[in-house]
Amino acid sequence: MSQLFSPFTVRGLTMRNRTVIAPMCQYSAQHGLANDWHFVHLGRFALGGFGLVILEATGVTPEARISYGDLGLWNDEQIAPLKHIVGFLKAEGAATGIQLGHAGRKAATPIAWRHGFDETEADKRDYAYETWVPEAPSAERHSDNPNFQTPVALDKAGIQRVVQSFADAARRADQAGFDTVEIHGAHGYLISQFLSPLANHRGDEYGGSRENRMRFPLEVTEAVRAVWPEDKPLIVRLSVTDGSPGGWGIDDSIVLSRELQALGVDMIHCSSGGFDGYSLKAAPLYQVELSKAIRAAGVPTIAVGLIDDANDAERILAEGEADLVAFARTALEDPNWPVHARHTLEGGGDAYQLWPKQARSRIRDRDRALGIRQS
């Protein structure tokens, strides 16, 4: 058996294989509630054979959302539709995760495929349009782009309110049945903003030195781990480097990852970027070196970033560059990527077992008739 399609156990969770769906914002919720789009979008990845499906960035407060179309988990009403999705994913063999996040100064931005805030009055009614003033470490806009607002700086009481909101959302995630929570500390959102000297210009104990800038992320992690069941793994997604001059870097992330591990974090999901001046060029495998650096420091990792070829994914694991391999745009292009990749890596009759039971014999018969992928 290939490493990619061998089981993986962390705490009390055993995944059927080492493929992961990375969180992908859909901007299709109303008032934070999951709906049929999310059910179908996510369900196809379980049918396609992925080992772990992590839901999109989910706001821990209404103000935490990137846009008004984001999922939320700030009230109990939002639990039931998520529980419905979780039940289906698990029934089809996939482990389930949810990414809990706060967008900070990058909140209240337009839906991705619109041309700014171009909603008509009818659109606003139909899609539950909302706007609000973002909150951040410092009262500084993300950029001069008119889609970003000037945020208010969180005071200490506000910081503690947000920390508690992460913990409350994690409790609800457990009630919804999720196997793991991923804390979103990447891509220039609130936790990333506290970490980066590009966005954090505070003069109190939450700003200045690296130790101070790490304080808020560590407080969030400690609060979430305290309420998240001991037998369930906890993941943190980091921008291992801002990739911008004067920003957060790999050495910083190694220090932080070890601190997070000491607080009970089981894996670091290794991404990058989030601020102006990002210099990493998107290309196949372009972020794998970030995962390799964190894992070399003794912390298990998930690699992500334009990983498309099955043999590349297998090599990443075989060479110890990551423990799991995550997919986003590749999975959108081919939701059946794992079942296809297993045929590539292993072939033979066993490879068909990853197909859903409703399909596997028919796929095998098709392949025999066409003279391909012989069992």
Residues 6+ apart with CB under 8 A from 157: none
Cβ contact 163:249 at 8 Å: no
Q: Alpha-carbon distance 143 to 131, whole Å?
A: 18
Q: Tell me the two tokens of residue 53.
A: 């499906």
Q: Alpha-carbon distance 51 to 86, whole Å?
A: 13
Q: Tell me the two tokens of residue 290.
A: 């970030």
The residue with tokens 């782009």 is 145
Determine the Cα angle at 99 with ends 106 and 133, to 5°.
25
The answer to whether residue 129 is catalytic is no
Neighbours of 278 (CB within 10 A): 17
Q: How far is CA 240 from CA 2, 168, 186, 204, 244, in A?
A: 28, 27, 8, 24, 12
Q: Alpha-carbon distance 172 to 137, whole Å?
A: 26
Q: Alpha-carbon distance 92 to 90, whole Å?
A: 5
Cβ contact 275:196 at 8 Å: yes
Three-class SS state of 100 = strand
Cβ contact 217:189 at 8 Å: no
Burial (0-12, 13-18, 19+ Cβ within 10 Å), 367: middle
Task: Tell me the β-bridge partners of 74.
Answer: none
Q: Alpha-carbon distance 285 to 104, whole Å?
A: 29
Cβ contact 62:32 at 8 Å: yes
Q: Alpha-carbon distance 33 to 82, whole Å?
A: 8
Catalytic residue, from 27, 189, 206, 352: name it. 189
Residues noted as catalytic = 189
